[in-house]
Amino acid sequence: MSSTKQLKRLIALVDCNNFFVSCERVFNPKLEKKPVVVLSNNDGCVVARSNEAKLLGIGMGVPYFEVEKLIKRKGVIVLSSNFSLYGDMSNRVMQTLQQLGCDIEIYSVDEAFLLLPEEAALSIARKIRQQILKEIGIPVSIGVSLSKTLAKVAGHFAKKNLKTEGVFALVEEGERKKMLSTLPVEEVWGIGRRLKTSLNQFGVYTAGELCDKEDRWIKKHFSVVLLRTAWELRGKGCLSFDEVAGPRQSIMTSRSFGRAVKELSELKEALSAYVAKGAEKLRSQSSLTSYLYVFLIPSFSEKKPASSASFQLQFPTDYTPLLSEKAERILEALFEEGVSYKKVGVMLGDFSERKERQYTLLETPALSEKRSRVMDLVDSINHHFGGRTLHFASEGVDQPWKMRQENRSPRFTTSWDELLSIRI
């Protein structure tokens, strides 16, 4: 690029509202405006609630038996998780975001960070919200700011405040200071209960108070990690577009080239490197992947759209040579002779835990149903993500109050036998 002026960009967090419930509502509009909860298969805990259910006092992650009476009394609708549906709807949202052409980082099944040009960020965000609502039926909230941590703050505000109409930009310094001065420190991304208690002991109760502390003080009493959070809160984006807090649900690795690339061999080299890097991160969180997504973006002057394709592996793996080989084959299919490209990338998805037994199509997946972690949504979603898993019955009825899967809605988008049926 010959231009020396740096294009200023803001970070947007796109976050689906009550994602599981929203997915159910697309295919069952009768659920709108009603209290609805979705239960996890494994533990019979509440893993999603509509706003109406939240207002009734049903908390996130509570065991079903604790709220059974309340649910029956208030006529709350209870559904079993339909991960095939949620995974597919998530794909649709992420694909729509990816087609915008800006840098994107898929953070979880229902969240993604985007880099938007500063000038038009708010109007782009509004268009995104409208588009996803119309085309997929999922309402999203979008927070725009100078860093990921602040984008999360803005997104949270966008979600809670109806006046924002789902989109909120937190950029101006005065506004930021004001908002952070009343934000409890434990509501900041990356600050959990333990940190909160320690911070409170030092008299730091709000995000604003944390920002005001000197760098030296933060490093001395806490860590570099908290210092980064403080910088992010102050408006300095330091979590790069590959860094998050916690294990990822997908790993995207890509870079824009310094110059246009035309040779397939060069593209392959770059892609290999990205696959290797992604696989490294995969192993560092003890995950295996069975889903590869490769995309190729032509230079702007070519006036051609980006192309991409995916590949579902039969067995989950973290073996770099195998992933590289598959990625290369996809690249070969996407490559067009004579075209200049500016970017190639790979996303690894559909994670499963390395310690789990690998399964074949002939035997029933032996997922560890006896997980104690209530919020183990990630693994559950990943197992169903590709829609390839056989539908397995819950293992053993440990508790008499455990919900059976018969309250699961049909797999409207991943099973030909379970399509939405309309009487006309």
Q: Any long-range contacts for 227-234 (C-beta under 8 Å, 24+ apart)?
A: 229/149, 229/188, 229/189, 229/190, 229/191, 231/147, 232/147, 232/148, 232/149, 232/150, 233/147, 233/149, 233/150, 233/180, 233/188, 233/207
* Residue in 307, 340, 389, 407 binding other proteins, rule: CB under 8 A: 307
Q: Quote the radius of gyration of the chain (alpha carbons, Å).
A: 22
Give yes or no for residue 387 binding other proteins (CB under 8 A): yes
Assess contact for 393 and 403: CB atoms under 8 A: no
Please state the closest distance from residue 41 (CB atom) to other proteins, in A. Answer: 21
User: How does strand 167-170 pair with strand 140-145?
Assistant: parallel
One of 5, 73, 134, 163 touching other proteins (CB under 8 A): 134
Pick from 238, 228, 230, 245: which is nearest to 190 by CA?
Answer: 245
**Shortest distance in whole angstroms from residue 247 CB to other proteins:** 22
**Closer residue to other proteins (CB): 292 or 403:** 292
- Residue 334 interacts with other proteins (CB under 8 A): yes or no: yes
137 binds other proteins (CB under 8 A): yes
**Comparison of 165 and 243: residue with beta carbon closer to other proteins:** 165
- Pick between residue 204 and residue 331 the one whose CB is nearest to other proteins: 331
Tell me the H-state helices in 215-316. 215-221, 224-234, 264-284
Between 63 and 387, name the residue whose CB sits nearer to other proteins. 387
Binding-site member from 72, 332, 393, 404 for other proteins (CB under 8 A): 332
Question: Does 360 participate in binding other proteins (rule CB under 8 A)?
Answer: no
Can you spell out the DSSP letters for 93-149? Answer: HHHHHHTT-S-EEEEETTEEEEEEETTTHHHHHHHHHHHHHHHT---EEEEEESSHH
Find the binder of other proteins among 8, 55, 72, 95 (CB under 8 A): 95
Single out the residue of 146, 174, 179, 158 nearest to residue 111, CA to CA.
Answer: 158
303 is a site residue for other proteins (CB under 8 A): no
- Distance between CA atoms of 191 and 157, rounded to whole angstroms? 18
Nearer to other proteins by Cβ, of 265 and 421: the residue is 421
Told to check if 293 binds other proteins by CB under 8 A, we report yes
Secondary element (H or E) of residue 261 = strand 251-261
Per CB under 8 A, does 102 bind other proteins? no
The separation between CA 215 and the C-alpha centre of its own chain, rounded to angstroms, equals 31
- State which of residues 92, 126, 262, 354 lies at the interface with other proteins (CB under 8 A): 92
Quick check: 352 and 365 in contact, CB under 8 A?
A: no
Q: Does 269 bind other proteins (CB under 8 A)?
A: no
Residue 414 in contact with other proteins, rule: CB under 8 A: yes
Exactly one of 157, 217, 257, 311 binds other proteins (CB under 8 A); that residue is 311
Contact segment (CB under 8 A) with other proteins among 3-11, 134-142, 227-235, 364-372 equals 134-142
Q: In the complex, which residues of this chain contact other proteins (CB under 8 A)?
A: 29-30, 32, 88, 91-93, 95-96, 99, 134-137, 291, 293, 296, 307-312, 329-330, 332-334, 336, 386-387, 412-414, 416, 419-424
